[in-house]
Structure formats: C-alpha cells, structure tokens
Structure 1
Amino acid sequence: MTFYSKIIGTGSYLPPKKVSNQELTDQLAAKGIETSDEWIFSRSGISFRHYAEPSVAVSDLAVEAAKRALDAARMQANDIDLIVLATSTPDFLGGFPSTACVVQNKLGITNGGAAVDVQAVCSGFMYAMSIADSMIKAGNHKNVLVIGAEVFSRILNFEDRTTCVLFGDGAGAIVMSRSEEPGVLATKLHADGSYANILCVPGNVQSGVVEGSAFLYMDGQAVFKLAVNLLEKVANEALEIAGLTTDQIDWLVPHQANIRIMQSTAKKMRMPMDRVVVTVDQHGNTSAASIPLALDLAVRDGRVQPGHTVMLEGVGGGFTWGAAIVKM
C-alpha cells in the first residue's frame, strides 16, 4: 500500500511585544550604538520584530502555534502521534528534555506518541518537514505536528548592530497527515559543516560556566553569497524530483531572513516577486519559525489556496539548506 503525506492545517504565533526599527534604534542609541530605521530596512527589509517576555518559554510559543494548526486541521491534540519540533533555542540547557516533549505535555497529548527536536537552525523546519513526510510515507505515523519555534532574542548581542536588529521570536506549525493522494511532492536536504563558523553561537558549557560566547555570530556577507547560490540549486533539485518547472509553482515561501536574499533567489529562479510570500518586514528573521509563519499568513489571507503548488525553502547555520514542494 502506498502512503502519501499532505498538509491539512497551518498555524502561527507571534508574542505580543512588537518592536519597531525606531524603538530599537532608540534603545541602541542609549548604549551609544548608532543605527536607524532606514539603515535597518534598506539592508534587510525588516520593519518590526517580536520579543517574548522573560517568563515565556519557546515551548509556550510552539503550543500556541500548534493549537491554531490543530484547529485548522479540525483535529484534537490526541490525534497527533508524532511531534517534530525545530528549534535552536530550546527550553532547557543541553536541549533535554526536548522541547517537543514539553510541548506534547502542554498540549495534553497522552497517547504515547513520539516527540523529537531537530536542530538545523534556519533550515530546521525543512528538516522537520522532511522527517515527518518520510515517517508518514513509511507507514510509521499517521498525523504529525511539525513546529518551528524560536526565542532568538535571548542569544542576541545588543551591542552588535549587524545582528541584533535582524532577529525576532515566534512560532509556526503545520499538521501533516496520511493521504490517499500526493501532497508533499518532493523534499531535498543538504549540509556542509565546513561553513560552520560563518553563522554560529561559539560557546559551550564547562562545569556550569559558559566558555566562549553565548551570543549569535554571523558573517553577513559570507552568509548572503552562500545562501543565494544554495537556495537556487536546492530549488532546482526539488523541481527535478517533482518533475515540475518554476512556471508550475504558484507560490515560493522562502526562509524570511533578508529581503535581498529573497529577491536575488527569485531573480535567479525567474520568479516574479508577486509570487513570493514575504513577511520578514513584520517579524524579522525568526529562524526555524519563519517558513511556517509565512505559510500560515498566506493561507489565512487567501493567497495560498487548496490545490496550489508551493515551494518552501530555507538555509541556515551548519551550514544547512533544504527545499520542499507541496500540493496544498
């Protein structure tokens, strides 16, 4: 018997605290760091970002997004038999217990289904989706909750204007279920650890003390050049696997890192920007959460319709990158 997987519900959540470029500029100016709304927007396309309050865990954001995805899928929490959660900012040091297990408990899932975290930074959601697709197609699971959730504000150095203005917090989720007809048409993942040093948090814990830096570091120019080339290549690989051309893609939903990366990728793919879902202006780079956040917005505002063919793609620290093509 052949199994297929299909996205049947989407959801997202942004914490209420919304910070504009001007507000952030004013806060940085108090520290003697010069920037401006125009400087941030012209280089990134970002106007706002959301920050979680100190008492709010990444699992709390994930739960809110998951509930909305479950509602959209018309499912109860106990219908879920696997949670795959992508995050680089887990609830607990060392990543255990996994944030996926914490989310399972907070959702009240008591059926003994599996739960696991995935760490591929900004490509994490692509990795999580691919794992869920494979599990469903193998017949091991029927209903999978795939989540990307981050609280990147907690690993930002607010004395480094090249990074602190770019990132925000949020969560996005989808429900993937067994289907009689193909939904996920292709997935393709890659990694190259030789680029680990251009986007990383270069610290570790020794005897309860952080050695190195606990803040995000990024070589922006190196990441930009690499990202544009890799996103084009993996998009073409996914198209080949699916047997499709760019003209047959209704919407491109890329990782919302930087408007310039998205514009350059779309240009290389000969895809007009009016077919690219852009939300980076409203929430900045939310790492593993950005793709499901953008997808959910486009579903809820009516752009992405049932039957549309959508390409999702992301690139992130590791270096990791991946793409998926889905029939909604």
Structure 2
Amino acid sequence: MQHTYASRPYAAITAIGGYVPQKRRTNFDLEQVCDTSNEWIIKRTGIKERRILDKDLATSDMAVMAIQDLCLRYEKNLADIEAILVATSTPDVMMPATANIIARKLALKNVWAFDMNAACSGFLYALDMGASLIESGRYKNVLVVGADNISAFVDIKDRSTNILFGDGAGVVWLEPSSENGIIDAFMQSNGDGREFLNIEGGGSLYPANNGLIEVEKKYIRQDGKVVFKQAIQSMSDACNQVLSRNNMRIDQVNWLVPHQANKRIIDAVGKEINIPEGRTLSNIEYLGNTIAATIPLCIWENIKRIQKGDLLMLTAFGAGFSWGASLLRWAI
C-alpha cells in the first residue's frame, strides 16, 4: 500500500548536532584488562576505539553539548524549542526525566520534555514520535535527542560487552515542510529478547537498595549470537517493509544509515537489502555502539556527504527486542 500525505506537512530535519567525549578507550587499553586482542576485536566488530564520558558527567551533559553544537552550526534559537524528546537507556536518575534536566540546563521554562527508552532503537522511536507532533500541527519546533552514557553500565572485564560500547549524543531539530522530510516509519517490538540483552539492576524489580545490586545485574549483558542473528533479520525486514509499502526500490535510496552495533551486522544488512556498494554510512570504527546516539551521530559525522533531496533509510535494532526503519528525504 502506498502512503500519501497530501493533507499534512512533512516533519523535516532542519538542523543536526552531536557530541562525543574526548576520552578514548582503545582496543589496546582493553588488552590490559581482559583476554582479548586488537586484531580479534577489529575482526569481530570493526571497532578500534570508543569514547568514554568523565565520571562526574552524565547523559544530560552530552545532550546539552550536542544541542549547543546544533544551535551554533545552524544558528537556531533555543527559545523556539517547544518539545524535547530524549531517547536514552541511561537516564541521569530514575526521576525526573533526563529531558527535564536538559531543559533546566538550557534555561527553557515552558517546554514539553520527556524520555523514551527503546534501547538502541530509541532514536528511531523518538524520531517517529517527534514527526507525529509536527504532522499534527500542534508543534513546529521539536528536538529529538539520542544520548547514552552506556560506559557507566559496562563491566570493563567482560569482553562480550566492553569491546562494543561507547558514549555520545546526537540531536536533530524537526520543523514542518511542504517538500522534504520523514516519508514513512515502521516500528516493531515483541518482548522476546529480554533475556538476551539487558541491564536488570536499578529498576523496580531489582532496585538499588543502598547501592547493593547483585554484581551481575549492574551491568549490560548480552547473548551475542542471538542478538547478531535477530538484528540482521529484523533491520533488513523493516527496511524492505518501508520500501514495499511506499512502492520504492532500494536503488532509489541514496544512503542507508544503520544502527552502529557491529560492522559485520552493518555489512550483512546492506547485503540482505541489496543496497548498492558505497551507500552505507558508518562511524563505528572510532565510536563503537553509542546505543540511541548511533544514528544521529553517524549522520552528523557524514553530513558533508549528504545532499539536500537525498533519500535516507534509517534502521535500528535494540534490546526488547525492538527494531524499525524510517525513510526520509533530507531537507538541509
């Protein structure tokens, strides 16, 4: 079924910003703390280093710096912001929402601000929600943030996770457009993957009572083989669903921007959907998996390669399991 949206405006990305910490954790650093090697990590993941946030900073700090970067680059006025949607699995605190904290740090007094947790799929989920706010006509300036301080939840001695994850934040500004913007989105979740990728400690089931959470529940854990297979299948299916229901072909897509989970997953998804060679954007080599921040950071770092009017396919897969794809016409 082809979707037509003549009756509503597109939600267009009119500005983008990003922030990554200065501190680097290289493969050689990891060789010192666990049984691994630079060669093995590169072969398995394509990652050489990842960024690590300072201990006295939190997710909101990275988000604020990404928003400030956006405003500086695109001469945007913070006072115009009407809503802030923050996709994160690593909020500053259990409550209030990290989006509230960001609003305070930016001195915004009257803004609708809330968090969304869909793990590595979070940015796409929040982008779809932000687009809906624009399409409804109720909002004209919406910030969608993807930010995670995931290193705070990584067991430095666990080589199944310490090789993958890094910290960062990316943000986009959404506004109405009559021409370019988000064409369609396909989001899914089934709850079948809870045991294969999770951080169990700190919630209401395993609360942080006086800081005494069982060690194995404090950190992110994953079954790499299960996640690997599901990620490829789910992201590929989501991309094909979006293309099919909009009567489009993959060769019409200028850029595939996949979640930066693993270089082998990125390559496999590209192969599964038959995207032409050279049209997949990636920055995993030096940032690793930054959870909800990977897609906006990947676009931000490759911004000079993307032209106004280009067709972008975004796709992600995360804990839950959750996954999806978004098709958009670039408006900058």
Q: Give yes or no for TM over 0.5.
A: yes
Matches of 2:212 and 2:14 in 1, distance apart?
42
What does residue 76 of structure 1 align with? Answer: 77
Amino acid paired to 1:276:
T
Matches of 1:74 and 1:258 in 2, distance apart?
34
Matches of 2:22 and 2:208 in 1, distance apart?
35
What does residue 214 of structure 1 align with? Answer: 218
Residue 184 in structure 1 maps to residue 185 in structure 2: no
Does the residue aligned with 1:15 lie in a helix, a strand or coil?
Answer: coil
What does residue 147 of structure 2 align with? Answer: 149
Does the residue aligned with 1:196 lie in a helix, a strand or coil?
Answer: coil
What does residue 56 of structure 2 align with? Answer: 55
Residue 263 in structure 1 maps to residue 267 in structure 2: yes
Amino acid paired to 1:155:
F
Q: CA deviation at 1:272?
A: 3.3
Matches of 1:161 and 1:230 in 2, distance apart?
25
What does residue 16 of structure 2 align with? Answer: 10
Instruction: Looking at secondary structure, tell me which structure has more helix per residue.
Output: 1
CA RMSD across the alignment: 1.3
What does residue 201 of structure 1 align with? Answer: 199
Does the 8 A contact of 1:196 with 1:317 survive in 2? yes
Q: 2:167 aligns with which of 166, 169, 174?
A: 169
Matches of 2:71 and 2:125 in 1, distance apart?
21
Q: CA deviation at 1:148?
A: 0.5
Q: CA deviation at 1:162?
A: 1.1
Q: Deviations over 1:208-247 (max 9, x none)?
A: 4444411001000000000100011100111133332101
Does the 8 A contact of 1:9 with 1:175 survive in 2? yes
What does residue 301 of structure 2 align with? Answer: 297
Matches of 1:273 and 1:254 in 2, distance apart?
14
Q: Deviations over 1:234-264 (max 9, x none)?
A: 0011113333210110000110010000110
Residue 276 in structure 1 maps to residue 284 in structure 2: no
Q: 1:237 aligns with which of 226, 232, 241?
A: 241
Does the 8 A contact of 1:73 with 1:175 survive in 2? no
Does the residue aligned with 2:133 lie in a helix, a strand or coil?
Answer: helix
Does the residue aligned with 2:160 lie in a helix, a strand or coil?
Answer: helix
What does residue 312 of structure 2 align with? Answer: 310
Q: How many percent of aligned residue pairs carry the same amino acid?
A: 36
Q: CA deviation at 1:19?
A: 2.0
TM-score, L = length of structure 1: 0.94
Does the residue aligned with 1:195 lie in a helix, a strand or coil?
Answer: coil
What does residue 100 of structure 2 align with? Answer: 101
Instruction: Looking at secondary structure, tell me which structure has more strand per residue.
Output: 1
Does the 8 A contact of 2:251 with 2:276 survive in 1? no
Alignment gaps of 5+ in structure 1: none
Matches of 2:157 and 2:25 in 1, distance apart?
17
Matches of 2:211 and 2:26 in 1, distance apart?
34
Count of equivalent residues: 318
Q: Deviations over 1:127-164 (max 9, x none)?
A: 00000001110112111111111111110111211111
Does the 8 A contact of 2:145 with 2:170 survive in 1? yes
Matches of 1:73 and 1:243 in 2, distance apart?
34
Q: 2:253 aligns with which of 249, 268, 274?
A: 249
Amino acid paired to 2:23:
K
Does the 8 A contact of 1:9 with 1:71 survive in 2? no
Matches of 1:25 and 1:292 in 2, distance apart?
30
Q: Deviations over 1:27-71 (max 9, x none)?
A: x1xxxx211100111000000100001111110100111112233
Decide whether aligned partners of structure 1 residues 70 and 242 sit closer, same or farther in structure 2, where only a CA change above 3 A counts. farther
Q: CA deviation at 1:298?
A: 1.1
TM-score, L = length of structure 2: 0.93
Q: CA deviation at 1:72?
A: 3.6
Does the 8 A contact of 1:198 with 1:223 survive in 2? yes
Amino acid paired to 1:79:
D
Residue 22 in structure 1 maps to residue 28 in structure 2: yes
Q: CA deviation at 1:113?
A: 1.8
Bigger CA drift: 211-220 or 282-291? Answer: 211-220
Does the residue aligned with 1:49 lie in a helix, a strand or coil?
Answer: strand
Matches of 1:263 and 1:71 in 2, distance apart?
34
Amino acid paired to 1:306:
K
Bigger CA drift: 252-261 or 61-70? Answer: 61-70
Alignment gaps of 5+ in structure 2: 1-6
What does residue 224 of structure 1 align with? Answer: 228
Does the 8 A contact of 1:263 with 1:273 survive in 2? no
Matches of 1:153 and 1:252 in 2, distance apart?
27
